[in-house]
């Protein structure tokens, strides 16, 4: 019986193709279709969401954090509750439609400004409570960031 390294490779995979797996239920090698594997992966396995993590720990009120690229999860951990702060979104010309920026903040910010960096910003929060979050999604045809969560 050949090992996996001895098998001929393929350039494309179809839903009916069979893949070797080790079944912990049966205690031996079995086969599963690519469609079965797809159903399993999309149904209950946690996968990387593709977002780049950016962290910032502002040490003073009136902070300004620039999100470097779209597709970012910004984790703010301010040293204390602050009166004001600004989050500047990526430059609109560097962003593709549909990309998002997610923000989590561990402390309250009384007056928050979300700056569009050349794009409009629709529905952004103007304040943050401790442990709050929001998500902005960019729409290219309107050159605007919209709050979606």
For 10-19, the pLDDT digits (tens) are 888 888 888 8
pTM exceeds cut of 0.75: no
* Same domain assignment for residues 26 and 87: no
Q: Is it the case that residue 40 has pLDDT exceeding 90?
A: no
Task: State percent of the chain over pLDDT 90.
Answer: 66
Q: Which domain holds residue 33?
A: 12-44
- Look at residue 2 and tell me if it is in a domain: no
Closest listed residue to residue 91, CA positions, set 118, 123, 64: 118
Q: Are residues 79 and 141 in the same domain?
A: yes
Q: Are residues 86 and 34 in the same domain?
A: no
Predicted confidence at residue 45, as pLDDT, reads: 52
Number of domains comprising the chain: 2
* 36, 102: one domain: no
């Amino acid at each position: 019986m050949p090992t996996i390294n001895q098998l001929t490779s393929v350039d494309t995979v179809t839903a009916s193709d069979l893949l070797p797996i080790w079944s912990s239920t049966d205690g031996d090698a079995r086969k599963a279709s690519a469609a079965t594997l797809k159903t399993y992966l999309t149904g209950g396995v946690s996968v990387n969401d593709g977002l780049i993590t950016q962290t910032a720990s502002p040490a003073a009120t009136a902070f300004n954090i620039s999100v470097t690229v779209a597709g970012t999860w910004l984790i703010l951990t301010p040293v204390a509750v602050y009166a004001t702060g600004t989050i500047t979104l990526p430059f609109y010309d560097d962003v593709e439609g549909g990309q998002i920026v997610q923000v989590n903040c561990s402390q309250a910010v009384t007056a928050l400004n979300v700056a569009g960096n050349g794009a409009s910003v629709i529905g952004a929060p103007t304040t943050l409570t401790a442990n709050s979050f929001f998500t902005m999604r960019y729409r290219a045809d309107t050159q605007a960031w919209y709050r979606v969560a």
